[in-house]
Amino acid sequence: MAQTSYFERFSLVEVQQTFYQPPRLATLERWRRDAPAPFEFTLKAWQLITHEPSSPTYRRLREPVAPEAHGRYGSFRPSAEVHAAWNATLDCARALEAQVLVFQCPPSFAPTAEHIANLRRFFRMARGEAGSLRLCWEPRGGWPRDLVESLCGELGLHLIVDPFQQAPPEQGLRYFRLHGIGGYRYRYSDDDLLRLRRWGRGTAYCLFNNMNMVEDAMRFQALVAHR
């Protein structure tokens, strides 16, 4: 879908490019200028923060990570490299005038003592630098819900869920990433979208990430508008 057509149809987009390789700031600033004033950009944090260099997504980096430096990237490590990736991500968020920043973790980022310590250290730093930017976390890898909610409360994070897989948070911002029930090829039914509308009370972001994402998003938008 062309950019101008997207701006006409929707009020929000989640930028994926910042996860793989952040675009030039001039490019992001142009996107912001070209979009209508109410249009909102959210974005994903650069993978150098969250993912290990063994992730296949690293193939999309402009410059490969040297093998001897692999241990300094990903998993929210307390390293200069991760901090530089955070600064680059923050610059992207400011260029887009974003209100929400998404940290999507891989399944390999499991709730080990080291990972929990890294997470705490990173977000205590990031929270102090992010200003009013809302930091949203999508954990994978078998994190217990009580631990996740405790860390979110402690670190000022908003929990991201697929509400068809996990219960939405009881309070605060709701950020839904909809990956398809049973897989990426899933097309959401009318009953699914009615359930989603009920879950989306209060401030809610609903991002479709399935093969039929544009059509499903348009159908859901029409359902919300009709209500």
- Write out pLDDT tens, residues 152-170: 999 999 999 999 999 999 8
Q: Report pLDDT for 5.
A: 83
Is the per-residue pLDDT at 2 higher than 80?
no
Per the prediction, the chain carries an average pLDDT of 95
* CATH code for the part of the protein at 3-161: 3.20.20.410
Is the per-residue pLDDT at 1 higher than 70?
no
User: With b meaning 16 or more CB within 10 Å and e meaning fewer, what string describes 30-67?
Assistant: ebbeebeeebbbbbbbbbbbbbbbeeeebeeeeeebee
Note the pTM of the prediction, 2 decimals: 0.95
Q: Say which range, 58-72, 116-130, 193-207, has the weakest mean pLDDT.
A: 193-207
Q: Assign 83 a pLDDT band (cuts: 50, 70, 90).
A: very high
Listed residue (209, 135, 51) closest to 20, CA to CA: 51
Pairwise CA distance, residues 73 & 85, whole Å: 9
- Please state the φ and ψ torsions of residue 209, each to the nearest 5 degrees: -135, 50
The whole-number average pLDDT for the span 214-224 is 94
Asked whether the beta carbons of 39 and 7 are under 8 A apart, the reply is yes
Pairwise CA distance, residues 118 & 172, whole Å: 25
